[in-house]
Amino acid sequence: MRRVILAVIATVAGLVALLSFKSHSSERTVASPTATPTLLPGERAVTGHVAHTVYGPVQVQLVVKTGRIVKVNILQQPATTQMDLEIGQYALPRLIGETITAQSARIDTVSGATYTSGGYIQSLQSALDNGG
């Protein structure tokens, strides 16, 4: 009899805990696709297409001067959860660094950020195709 009472109490406590769980808000925004960087003389901005990943959109904008990529701006990145933001903070600077070094979309993905890396590379390639 004691076991039955303990099982019922444990079940009720588990249900109360489960029902009181609050999920994260998905109302986060990271950047505006309409944001334009301040360009120096001779620079131009080229925006890539939005790459839709499992975790959210990724979009990049290149700043190009005399045919060379001098800066990469992240216009959109997955930002539904705190983990998405942490992955972006870790992976995107590495991807940007590789892009500026390689001057192409032939860069490695970042381990642990496979989908974000893939979306970044896809948007980067479309920016390069658009005149980057």
Q: Is residue 12 part of a domain?
A: no
Coil vs helix vs strand at 75: strand
Q: Is residue 34 part of a domain?
A: no
Per-residue pLDDT, 32: 47
Structural element, H or E, at residue 69: strand 68-76
Q: Is residue 99 part of a domain?
A: yes
Q: Is residue 113 part of a domain?
A: yes
By residue range, what is the domain housing residue 81?
A: 43-129
Q: How far apart are CA 109 and CA 101, in angstroms?
A: 14
Q: Is the pTM of this model over 0.75?
A: no
Q: Is residue 100 part of a domain?
A: yes
Q: Is residue 1 part of a domain?
A: no
Per-residue pLDDT, 29: 41
Q: Is residue 33 part of a domain?
A: no
**Low-confidence residues of the chain, pLDDT below 70?**
14-36, 132
- Cβ atoms of 46 and 130 within 8 Å: the answer is yes
Give residue-wise pLDDT tens across range 10-36. Answer: 787 766 666 666 554 443 445 544 556
Per-residue pLDDT, 25: 44
Could you tell me the CATH number of the domain that includes residue 58? 3.90.1010.20
Domain count, the chain: 1
- Cβ atoms of 60 and 73 within 8 Å: the answer is yes
